[in-house]
Structure 1
Amino acid sequence: MEQREIVVVGAGPAGSTAAIALSQQGHDVLLIDRQTFPRDKPCGDGMPVGVTEMVYDLGLKEVFDQADFYPIDRVCLVSPAGYIYEGKLRMGKQGSKAHVIPRLQFDALLQAQAVRAGAEFFQARVTAPIVENGQVHGVKAQGAAGLLEIRARLVLAADGATSVISRALQPQRPPDVHRAVALRAYMEDLEVRPHQVEFFLHREILPGYAWIFPMDAQKANIGLGMRLDKFRQQQLSLEQLLENFLALPFMKERIRGNGRLHDVATWQLNFGSQKRLQRAFDGALLLGDAGWLIDPLTGGGIENGMMSALLAAQTAHQALQQGDFSRRMLHGYERACQAALWPVMRRSYLIQRWVLRYPWLLDGLIKYARNHPHLTNIFLAKL
């Protein structure tokens, strides 16, 4: 039976960020993921400027810039009736920008940097937490050599929207209004707007949206997301909804050739729209999507996930110094998440719930925003 200081479950952006931060502080970190890297992950691939800022703050500016990812500096919002707002995105610290980066590349970069910082990577499928007398003491996992138990002083769960750890510690699932489903595909031979992301507030999928995120001069990540309760109230699949969107006249004009979609994938999103959700337990913390931290308006989870990872790393460092892994000690992580993330997520939830449901209101707001661009900063705060 192996004994470690910290086990991080999941090597996506949140898990790898936590592993980097803790390894840089000299801690013993075991980073576990069921897959090897690089690996694909269904996502819109949009990386807000805040993501780049955190990557830079981790000391990875040179590595990130050398990767030459596709930068984004403009945004377009299209209302249900076709009114258009276009604007510039802000530039962050050290000249950082937003990007469109395939998760195949971005996640592999962070995972490799976690190993470089000193974390040990182990490929295995975590099946359950080890819980004794109400406290988490590690994880059970299925590896190449079979079933094993890995004991740890602290477990950081960053194993995504279907988190095994989260389900075990918090089995009650929030209602569908706090969840969404999304579909992503890649398309070549599409007329893209260079270095500009596009959001389409299409009537058929409100309070969700469709998107086109360019990856180069002719290729884009294209997809849509829809709140789960609304999705279940209608009869179409996500694939059919995307087909309907692509069949709209303004979209047909932009598709060259056969417009074939490839690497089509769907996924679930867990919104951070519940203030009282528990994310700290005796011996464990929930990070990123496992902690229900996706923005309820944009559907973006990478920035919040990485921010939660940095906050979790701070709390973990303090807990290790004091030798205290009780929920009382780890509750500082929940307080930090509330302070850093809840104000924006609450605003996002209110807009998603009460503004995106009315097409006429969206039309009016986008028409008005063309002369008052500060209004769109609410929607674009996470871009």
Structure 2
Amino acid sequence: MKQTHVCIIGAGPGGSTAALQLAKAGISCTLLDKAVFPRDKICGDALSGKVVSELRRIQEDFLPAIHTHTESLPSQGIHFIAPNEKWLSISFKSSGSSFTSSTTNSVEYSGFSPGYLMRRMDFDNFLIEQVKKNPLIDFREGVEVTDYQKTETGWIITASNQQSIETKLLIVANGAQSNFTRHIAGITTEPKHFCAGLRTYYEGVAGLDPNGFIELHFLKPFLPGYFWIFPLANGYANVGVGMLSDTISKQKINLKKSMQELIQTHPALQKRFANAKLQGEIKGYGLPLGSKRRKLSGDGYMLVGDAAHLIDPFTGEGISNAMISGRWAADQAVKCIQKQVYSGDFLAGYDQAVYRRLGNELRISTRMQRLLAYPSLFNMVVNRANRNPALKQLLSSMFNDIDLRSSLRSPTFYARLLFQ
């Protein structure tokens, strides 16, 4: 039986970040994934300013490697298109912001883009290549966990290759469909806090931003859902839609049909897709949203990324929050090993760290998501943000490595937010 202090289930951005962060602290771990890399992962393929910051935290040379990768495209930010078709542009970098960066360095790393666009197959495989180089990480791909057994000293897990692994601590990062999350951690899928998404690729979409800005369209025919266009390298674009499962069920919406009709009939999109060619099939996936605070740990385990339901409720971004939670899980694991304590009470420090960093963002994003039920209010927010620097910077915080706590405690911040 293989024995390890820490076993990580799932080698996506959250699990890989946790493994690399542990190795950085000099601690070995076992990392398992049922897939064999490179593998496709349905996603929007955007690496925001928060992802750039996390890459730098892991290792300084990761960002230059992403920058020069043949499949990456620099991205400067995001365009929000309101129901009234007014555009609000938010940069992936902070300039003149009163918010404080949670890193010691500037959000913008000189000589590199503040964000990137890169297919998840390529980005995840980049992280896996770094994992494979690290002698402290025992990475096993093509291995699916079939059983979890709690013991007095930790966990015994059984894998599809019939090998058992005994570990004191589990970091669970195996995605939106995690059996551990549902059946052991007790976090169930709730339609009001779960988004259904579709993603495909097109070649030749007209009018893509030359600075790599991604587009989130909140169009009247598709509310309360959203439609996205994310430019990629070599003339491709990631195109997709997302909508709350609760809405889809109540209104009996055929998401794929609605997406195709939107592209074919909406005046602005119809022109841009007139000569575009669909590349591959339209694929569906689920997004467990962070619009509800949940318990992320228990005796001998921590949940990370999509398995922890940490996807941004408004934008659908999940990569950065997976990496942030993976890093905090690794830091908590170091404390557990140092003190030889793996109890649920001690591991609650992980929950506190994650929500201290992400809680304000998730609350703001949830409120923005709920505004979609009231298009006129959402239009008003976009119009106001275009005139109000404080509001624009608040929205910018969702994509940059910004700590909101000090600003949200300041009365002067609210004065600027309301009256500028």
TM-score range, shorter chain: over 0.9
For 1:253, the equivalent position in structure 2 comes to 271
8 Å CA contact 2:41, 2:120 repeated in 1: yes
Please list, as runs of the form range in 1=range in 2, the aligned pairs for 1:42-53 lying within 5 A after superposition: 42-53=42-53
Q: Does 1:131 align with 2:134?
A: no
For 1:64, the equivalent position in structure 2 comes to 66
- SS in structure 1 at match of 2:272: coil
- SS in structure 2 at match of 1:170: coil
Distance 1:171 1:36, change over 3 A: same
* Aligned match for 1:350, one of 367, 378, 400: 367
Which string of whole-angstrom CA distances, capped at 9 and with x for unpartnered residues, describes residues 3-39 of structure 1?
Answer: 1221100000000000001112222211100011111
Shift of 1:161: 0.7
Please list, as runs of the form range in 1=range in 2, the aligned pairs for 1:106-185 lying within 5 A after superposition: 106-118=123-135, 119-123=137-141, 124-132=143-151, 136-143=154-161, 147-185=162-200
Shift of 1:237: 2.0
Q: Does 1:329 align with 2:346?
A: yes
Distance 1:278 1:359, change over 3 A: same
Distance 1:321 1:53, change over 3 A: same
8 Å CA contact 2:19, 2:31 repeated in 1: yes
* Aligned match for 1:103, one of 120, 138, 142: 120
Deviates more, 1:5-14 or 1:233-242: 233-242
Deviates more, 1:61-70 or 1:14-23: 61-70
AA in 2 matched with 1:163: S
AA in 1 matched with 2:150: V
Counterparts of 2:91 and 2:290, CA distance in 1: 27
AA in 1 matched with 2:263: L
Q: May I ask how many residue pairs the two structures share in their alignment?
A: 377
8 Å CA contact 1:126, 1:164 repeated in 2: no
For 2:312, the equivalent position in structure 1 comes to 295
Distance 1:172 1:50, change over 3 A: closer
- SS in structure 2 at match of 1:140: strand
Shift of 1:220: 0.5
Which string of whole-angstrom CA distances, capped at 9 and with x for unpartnered residues, describes residues 230-277 of structure 1?
Answer: 1112223221121122021211111243632424211111111222x2
Deviates more, 1:255-264 or 1:209-218: 255-264
Distance 1:174 1:35, change over 3 A: closer
Shift of 1:327: 0.9
* Aligned match for 2:357, one of 316, 340, 345: 340
Q: What is the identity percentage for the equivalent residue pairs of Structure 1 and Structure 2?
A: 29
Q: Does 1:228 align with 2:230?
A: no
8 Å CA contact 1:128, 1:164 repeated in 2: no
For 1:363, the equivalent position in structure 2 comes to 379
CA RMSD, 1 decimal = 1.9
8 Å CA contact 2:77, 2:115 repeated in 1: no
Unaligned runs of 5+ in 2: 95-106, 400-420
Shift of 1:173: 1.3
Distance 1:64 1:260, change over 3 A: closer
User: TM-score with structure 2 length normalisation?
Assistant: 0.85
- SS in structure 1 at match of 2:314: coil
Which string of whole-angstrom CA distances, capped at 9 and with x for unpartnered residues, describes residues 270-291 of structure 1?
Answer: 111222x211111111111101
- SS in structure 2 at match of 1:278: coil
Deviates more, 1:330-339 or 1:10-19: 330-339
8 Å CA contact 1:139, 1:151 repeated in 2: yes
8 Å CA contact 2:145, 2:157 repeated in 1: yes
AA in 1 matched with 2:322: G
AA in 1 matched with 2:316: G
Shift of 1:373: 5.0
Counterparts of 2:287 and 2:156, CA distance in 1: 26
- SS in structure 1 at match of 2:27: coil
- SS in structure 2 at match of 1:222: strand
